[in-house]
Amino acid sequence: MAQITYVSRSLPSFYVPVSAAAGGFAGLLVGTAHGSSLIGLIVGAVLLAITAYVVTKFVSQERIARWAILGIVTLGGLYLAGVPGLVVGAGFGWFFGWFIFWLYESRYRKKLPPYLTAAQVLWHYSFRVICGLIFFFLIAPIVVVMPLSFNAEDFFTFTPEMLRFDPAGYSLKHYRDFFTSSDWQHSLWNSITIAPAATLLSVSFGTLAAIGLSSEHVPFRRTIMAILISPMIVPLIISAAGMFFFYSRIGLQGTYFGVVLAHAALGIPFVIITVTATLVGFDRSLTRASANMGAGPILTFFRVQMPLILPGVISGGLFAFITSFDEVVVVLFVGSAGQKTLPWQMFTGLREQISPTILAVATILVAISILLLTTLELLRRRSERLRGMSPG
């Protein structure tokens, strides 16, 4: 076990108020769940302030103090909310035990430069707390959907059985409804046929545009670039309305090909941006060497240029695929009932019947998105290795 190096023990005037603030935040969460936020805030702050002072002044061994905090908070959670409270209380108890002694033994300064002032140390950790809160704010709506998709009842809220972790409160019926319903399967089939076709067009046109615009001799290339990425900047409702009127005049409104073209137009900017970023580190002397060896432009592209920019092309393609697969506004304007995609079906389910199957579909889409983002990260690391950069 690694030996901990202490700087100097903190004074109670520091670690007790900070511990009280942490206890107040936890009490606020617990109190809100029981309908009394203010009381929870006050009680949590007072209890943890007293706990921090007592365990640091009257308990000689840190391990015993931390186990005591863990046991007391866990039992308190069990008393207040049963099995779910026990689980949450165990998490809070472990954190509070660690947090109090992390402050008391000044371990928060262990890995920081010794010359930092108190204000600089405060900002160092405040910045991380702010980032953590922002991350929680962004991820919480996504995480909440996942357990709700296993609700045994047709509700969009946690039932008492779910909160008690009762197996009777959980079911896969919403997933069974998704895989057996003709409406949902028709929408899924439309999505998995439209999105790949739109992605193929986006990658083809976007890659060629990025390569052409990366050449310095192309006139007005900045203006052309701005026009090509405008679908990403212009509000989607404006693009959808414009596509509706334009497609109505040329007979593409309400057709599969029209929806594919519309989604391709939305995906091209992502491909252009990612491929252009990859071309920044591309060595132009390689194409000139290929030309000197007698290779034509097409052979040079596929044998020399494409292997090096392939990570950027695939990344852009994944972004284009996600854009097409998740898009609902444009397809509402340019599509018809025959082209109802999965997001369109989810929108209809929310507007007309509040179908809980939406939660199961949302969970599946989140899993797909996580898989695609993981692929993007692997491709990013490969691209940096090819360019001689550190993947960090």
Q: Residue 170: beta bridge partners?
A: 151
Return all residues near 179 (Cβ < 8 A) that are at least 6 apart. Answer: 185
| pLDDT value of position 375 | 80
H helices, E strands: number in the chain: 17, 0
Which residues are CB-contacts of 209 (< 8 A; sequence separation ≥ 6)?
A: 228, 268, 272
pLDDT of residue 387: 60
Residue 126: alpha-carbon gap to chain centroid: 22
pLDDT score recorded for residue 1: 41
Residue 45's CB is within 10 A of a number of other CB atoms, namely: 21
Distance from C-alpha of 174 to C-alpha of 242, rounded to nearest angstrom: 37
Please, are residues 194 and 263 in contact by the beta-carbon 8 Å criterion?
Answer: yes
* Predicted pLDDT of residue 386: 64
Region for 390 from its dihedrals, namely left if φ exceeds 0, alpha if ψ lies in -120 to 50, beta otherwise: beta
Q: Are 358 and 342 in contact (CB under 8 A)?
A: no
pLDDT in tens, 166-184: 778 888 888 998 888 888 8
Q: In this structure, what are the phi and psi dihedrals at residue 164, rounded to the nearest 5 degrees?
A: -90, 0
How many CB atoms are closer than 10 A to CB 72? Answer: 16
Q: Using an 8 Å Cβ cutoff, are 206 and 214 in contact?
A: no
Could you give the CA distance from residue 304 to residue 295 in angstroms, rounded to a whole number?
Answer: 10
Provide the 8-state DSSP code for 352.
I
For the stretch 343-374, pLDDT in tens is 888 888 777 667 788 888 888 888 888 888 88
Cα dihedral 123→128→129→133 (10° resolution)? 140
- Rounded Cα distance between 153 and 170, Å, is 8
Partners of 151 in the β-ladder: 170
pLDDT (tens, 9 = 90+) of the chain, 392 residues, equals 444 444 578 888 889 999 999 999 888 888 887 778 889 899 999 999 999 999 998 888 899 999 999 999 999 888 887 777 888 889 999 999 999 999 998 888 888 888 888 889 889 999 998 999 899 888 888 888 888 888 888 777 777 777 777 778 888 888 998 888 888 899 999 999 999 999 999 999 999 898 888 877 778 888 888 888 888 888 889 989 999 999 988 988 888 999 999 999 999 999 999 888 888 767 677 777 877 777 777 787 777 777 778 888 888 898 899 889 888 899 989 988 788 888 888 888 777 667 788 888 888 888 888 888 888 788 777 766 766 655 54
